[in-house]
Structure 1
Amino acid sequence: MMETINSSKQAIELEDKYGAHNYHPLPVVLSRGEGVHLWDVEGKRYYDFLSAYSAVNQGHCHPRIKNALIEQAGTLTLTSRAFYNDVLGPFEKYITAYFGFDKVLPMNTGAEGVETAIKIARKWGYEKKGIVEGQAKIVVAENNFHGRTSTIISFSSDANARKNFGPYMPGFVRIPYNDIDALKSALEDDTVVAFLVEPIQGEAGVYTPAEDYLKKVAEACKSKNVLFIADEIQTGIARTGSLLAVCGNCTCEGHCERQSTYIKPDILILGKAISGGFYPVSAVLTDNPIMDVIKPGTHGSTFGGNPLGAKIAMTALEVVRDEKLAQNARRLGKLFRDRMQILVDKYRILKLVRGKGLLNAVVVNDSPDSSTAWDMCLKLAENGLLAKPTHGNIIRFAPPLVMTEEQLHDCCDIIEKVVKQFDNR
């Protein structure tokens, strides 16, 4: 019989006893969500400033997406790709038009999306670029986070993700992030098929590159017939104040292929908020000359492209467009960074603030080995705001994009209250 949870202590003890210890959560047990708010088992309300790592950009339990899920769940959820279904085609047409590509290959999780892009790039390299099979290399950035599968950790620089999981897959070259000269040097190798990069390194601490970095990346890759792969699993779907981080400063409601600020990657990887937090959906988009290397039997997933996920994703993207979430993220993001900069200037416990749109981070003026950022997040939770540290002394702040200006200022007041307490220690 399924156990009923009556307290946070009970839930934490159950997870600790029966679950693998592969996460270190804040000691908060959540049971309900709506919009920008979450409630714990005891009924305390919190502002969500993590958004499930940007998976719930549309807010928790958005009613339009929920209704789409309910309707499709009562009609047809899964057929496998052994047969056609009447939702996948419309989804494929919708999302390719939305982002301006010829083809899409739908999967489930973000890591599957990255794995899919790697396979496509390698196959393209052998069949279209003429590289000898088994020799293809993919260039990646230091401090990347693209997932934790065996392939992906092979090119991770995170010791926790890598240690004791080898042997590692060859064929990857790491270079410094935001270093165009390092990329150009790596591209001199004729066996390089692709450069895989996050437009903003979220997990690493919300590192934003130079304004012209992505433009130069696209130009360098094109000059060497190398695929530019943008991992927008976390930065996409309006999070950074535009539909995609590669859109630059554009806030158009659909794809912005004709906008001068848009840098179109050869392969685009999406996940997380593409389904508004209701169901795991990821997608790899590219144009015909690249996607045509995929033939029956070369790649797939039982759940990839299922009608339930497809219907949810279409509705989630409609919400982003109809509610102008990119525009809201841009406006509120500037307000947030302005408020945080005041705190950085005022309190010595804070070192700097950085980010774009509503993907931001504050760097605590303490060692990455200290517990200060963690302790601050515990105190923020006590005051009704949920955030999480990354890399020791960095706190990431990424609320749902449906947040209002009044709510944002309320949250900034909470953050200042906590910062002030730590600054006086």
Structure 2
Amino acid sequence: MSRQIEDLLPEKPEARLRIYAYSIDDGAHDGMLKIGQTTQSAPARVEQQLKTALIKQYEIHLDEPAERNDGSAFSDHDVRARLRDKGFGKVDLEWMDCAVADVKTAIAELRTGVPLSGTHHETFKMRPEQTEAVKKSHAYFHSIWKEDMHAVPRFLWNAKMRFGKTFAAYQLAKKLGATKVLVVTFKPAVEDAWRNDLESHADFDGWQYLSRSTSHDPTTADKKRPLVYFGSFQDLLGKDKSGNIKPKNEWLHAINWDLVVFDEYHFGAWRENAKELFEGEDDTEAKKELKAEFNPGLGEFNEELDELGEDEIEFLPITTKAYLYLSGTPFKALATGEFIEEQIFNWTYTDEQRAKQNWSHRYPDVANPYAALPEMRLLTYQMPDELLAIASQGEFDEFDLGEFFSATASGDAAVFEHKSDVQKWLDIIRGSYSVTQVDNLKLGAKKP
């Protein structure tokens, strides 16, 4: 290599600069972070610093490469300067009065050269299957709108756990140009994921996240910035004892939403006690709503409801341009044909394992995003022909796995409620099968 080329393309040193941040438990530095740099490992450098001060209680919160996207390096001075520009105070030497997410955001800004608001520090991209889900949904929506601009299309993502449905759903909203997104869930515990993805990723910088837990009046939201409102089905869509919309939710029905997302759809869509989700309604009204099969505002009600007035059958009087359904187990929706093939994106455990195995062949120079996933082996067993024949008759094909393996008590005292039947099942898969067991299955509802 000539001297001129060496000057233009200098080799990177093996020991690369890293930025670290840690806290100590000494009372005087509560809520503060020490931000430094090192070419060693962060733990080794922190040990050197604290050894002389005899401080043993500390926690390293951040340890990241100090490199921009173009390969150049930045320093801890740059990180602290960026934090000061964002309004965070320098307390003493390298100590800053800020949170870990604030440091991550400053580092992301230095890497990308793009200023970010709040704590939008994540910059990871969509995985191929997430990109495909967004692409297929976007294409389907537009194909429907091309035929009828007033149509309200719906699409289902049948995706396994850890697919990243929240992140991908936001990417779909962004691709659609949606500025008003309503997320309704049957499982309120998932709110953290929806909020974290929106408030931490740089792709959604400037977006607003509101929910009941944020304690902000949604009617005062900035109309110039994209809005995501998260709420539970029970809280947002329930009615008062008089059958009217709750006053606190009237604003929800006044907005023409760009996209409504139903998360964890399987939790509420077909439970026998689903009428409990309709607060303050009598049985007659609840039954009418259940007949709507939780397809709000889509006009796909049963024929016996056709003669009812619009006000009588409307249980989700919310207008939107499109619906996105998210579920890892939408078995009934698939079995009943509620969604046709063009309306479904599937991503199963088998798909994920295949992607993990083939990644290095397709992208040899790119880190495998599935590398941390455990290897999965799916095993099947052959049921006797006599049992298959019974299941195919349709009369005895309903099987509740949860009920079959239900147990009483817990710990060492736990016992199967249907112990003898579980034992028979084990005997079958071990090959100890007797034709007399066919008669047991014919008991139908009397058996689990």
TM-score by length of 2: 0.29
Ranked by relative contact order (alpha carbons within 8 Å, sequence separation 6 or more), the top structure is 1
